[in-house]
Amino acid sequence: MKQTVYTASPESQQIHVWRLNSEGTLTLVQVVDVPGQVQPMVISPDKRYLYVGVRPEFRVIAYRIAPDDGALTMTAEASLPGSPTHISTDHSGRFLFSGSYNAGCVSVTSLEDGIPTTTLDVVEGLEGCHSANISPDNRTLWVPALKQDRICLFTLSDDGNLQPQEPAEVNTVEGAGPRHIAFHPNKRFAYCVNELNSSVDVWQLSNAHGNIECVQTLDMMPADFAGTRWAADIHITPDGRHLYACDRTASLITIFSVSEDGSILAVEGHQPTETQPRGFNIDHSGKFLIAAGQKSHHIALYEISGAQGLLTEKGRYAVGQGPMWVVVNAW
């Protein structure tokens, strides 16, 4: 299996392309100068394109991925209705979703043979919209509205329109600030990291009555932490055994073990990492985690090991200025 790591650095307007070697090292393949402040990124389901959201001219740029070394070639772009805070796609590669924190909206862009084209739908009134996350069955879009302490739920139609479900939302505790979401591989549970109180909620996608239910909330910070809580990102290993979330104030990654059925989390430890870790990701083998330090201008590569999923640093690499997004491609 070949793997390529992409890191986005908006302050220097660059994407760094790295080859992830099987022994746990990174080799620089390419540095791409992006026409704008590059922030969120996502890889197309067929692994042919890297989509990146840029500002101040709000748009998504599609880069074709070279099949031999993962290098990027700019191919197309399309406008977005607001500053892209998070982008993702549906599982079929027909639609691209963009959540905009500043504009308080989520949008759907058509993908035609992988190329972003026209905006199909825009839903407004989502204060602090921080991500757009398609459910494992490709039918429900989960959209956290951080400032409203709610996760809005939309049914994705075949033509790319979003219709509120019934119920149309689920709510966190007041002041939590739901931000990013990861789904368990068994497709039965979702995990949401809450920015403002640095907690993680476990959502059962369908309980005995067919309803979405929060079955656990867990504090992700050390018991003696007294600073301002400022959580950011969350990811789960491909086997569903380990979950990770990061906090920027404390510059740490919290390590969770996940019960066999996905319903229960337990904190296993805290890993100090790069200063202000805005984003991180896990490779497709589940062996490595790559974290970006927004204030250190470096990324750190960790090996995931043992029953607890603890992290051991394997290397540290300079990237562009203010790195804040990491994605990994495999083929």
Contacts 24+ apart (CB under 8 A), 217-224: 217/173, 218/256, 218/265, 218/266, 218/267, 219/267, 220/193, 220/245, 220/247, 220/254, 220/256, 220/267, 221/247, 221/250, 221/254, 222/250, 222/252, 222/270
pLDDT band at residue 105 under the 50/70/90 scheme: very high
Q: What pLDDT, in 10s, does the model give residues 20-65? A: 999 999 999 999 999 999 999 999 999 999 999 999 999 999 999 9
Q: Which residues pair with 243 in a beta bridge?
A: 236, 256
Query: Radius of gyration over alpha carbons of the chain, in Å?
Result: 18
pLDDT above 90: residue 243: yes
| Average pLDDT over every residue of 209-222 | 95
Q: Read off the tokens for 327.
A: 């994605």
Distance CA 90, CA 160 (A): 10
Q: Read off the tokens for 318.
A: 């300079």
Q: Read off the tokens for 70.
A: 């993962």
pLDDT above 90: residue 104: yes
pLDDT of residue 210: 85
| Average pLDDT over every residue of 165-177 | 97
Q: What pLDDT, in 10s, does the model give residues 266-305? A: 999 999 999 999 999 999 999 999 999 999 999 999 999 9
Contact 62, 48 (CB under 8 A): no
Contact 132, 96 (CB under 8 A): no
pLDDT above 90: residue 238: yes
pLDDT above 90: residue 201: yes
Contact 38, 19 (CB under 8 A): no
pLDDT of residue 331: 87
pLDDT above 90: residue 209: no
Overall residue count recorded for the chain in this entry? 331
Q: What pLDDT, in 10s, does the model give residues 108-167? A: 999 999 999 999 999 999 999 999 999 999 999 999 999 999 999 999 999 999 999 999
| Average pLDDT over every residue of 169-187 | 98
Rounded percentage of the chain residues whose pLDDT exceeds 90: 98
pLDDT above 90: residue 168: yes
pLDDT above 90: residue 77: yes
Distant-in-sequence, close-in-space partners of 3: CB < 8 Å, separation ≥ 6? 19, 20, 283, 284, 285, 328, 329, 330
Instruction: For residue 101, give the nearest of 115, 87, 119, 89 by alpha carbon.
Output: 87
pLDDT above 90: residue 208: no
Read off φ and ψ for residue 146, nearest 5 degrees.
-60, -45
Q: Is the peptide bond before 45 cis (omega within 30 degrees of 0)?
A: no
| Average pLDDT over every residue of 92-117 | 98
pLDDT above 90: residue 264: yes
CA 277-5-111 angle, 5° bins? 100
Lowest mean pLDDT of 207-216, 296-305, 312-321, name the range. 207-216
pLDDT of residue 250: 98
pLDDT band at residue 207 under the 50/70/90 scheme: confident
pLDDT of residue 12: 98
pLDDT band at residue 213 under the 50/70/90 scheme: very high
Distance CA 20, CA 282 (A): 11
CATH architecture of 31-275+300-313: 7 Propeller (2.130)
